[in-house]
Amino acid sequence: MALRDVNLVPPDRAAKRLLASHLFFWAGCMALLTCLVSVIYLAQTYMLRVQSRSLLEMNEIERLFIARTDVQKRLQGDQDRLNQEKSSLVAIRAGSRSAAQIIAKLSDHMNADTWLSQLSLEATQEPRGEARLLLTGFATSNEHLGDFLSKLSIDPSFKGVTLKYANESEGEQQGQKTAKGLVRFQIGCQSGGG
């Protein structure tokens, strides 16, 4: 005798149970898959937020670094300029004559018909404390300018006296009003340290 499986559950109910078990299985798989995709999405979103936050922090650090570098460059430029001014003043001061003494010596050689409109005094790098002078001014005639130039040339405290230019003015030049017949001049020389 052969044994047979006998199903006592009606076939339509067995089909419904099979369908329900399949539906529960696939629904569970779909829910698990949805959870897995959601977890991956949330992890990637979190990583992107962390990366964007660190990128913003890096941009902020770079901006602060650039700002501090600019401030440092500006301060370095100011310090260099102050060091140059200090060395010029020290070089002038190191000489036996001060700037006031140089100007006083110049005024001794000036005549009533010659005057300065600009005086530029610059220290040289030589240890003797020499200063480079650039005198710009006016004279009423070439003779008065020549007299001033010869007095400067004779004085041993002024070396290398050279006339850069001497132009007779024609009235109004480059927006400056000058009396007609004046001689505009520029003289360069060095004031010795002793």
- Average pLDDT for the chain: 84
Cα 85 to Cα 91: distance, rounded to the nearest angstrom: 10
Give the tens place of pLDDT for each residue, 17-49.
Answer: 999 999 999 999 999 999 999 999 999 999 999
Residue 87's pLDDT is what?
75
79-83, 102-106, 140-144, 184-188: range with lowest mean pLDDT: 102-106
Residue 93's pLDDT is what?
59
Most confident of 23-37, 96-110, 147-161, 172-186: 23-37
Residue spans of the domains in the chain: they are 13-94, 96-191
Residue 80's pLDDT is what?
92
Residue 91's pLDDT is what?
60
pTM here is: 0.46
Cα 96 to Cα 106: distance, rounded to the nearest angstrom: 16
pLDDT tier for residue 96 given thresholds of 50, 70 and 90: very low
**In this structure, what token pair is assigned to residue 93?**
């001061």
Q: What are phi and psi for residue 170, nearest 5 degrees?
A: -110, 25
pLDDT tier for residue 72 given thresholds of 50, 70 and 90: very high
Helix boundaries (H) for the chain: 11-94, 99-109, 142-154
Residue with tokens 């240890």, as numbered in its chain: 127
* pLDDT at residue 16 greater than cutoff 60: yes
Report the CATH fold assignment for 96-191.
Answer: Alpha-Beta Plaits (3.30.70)
* pLDDT at residue 94 greater than cutoff 60: no
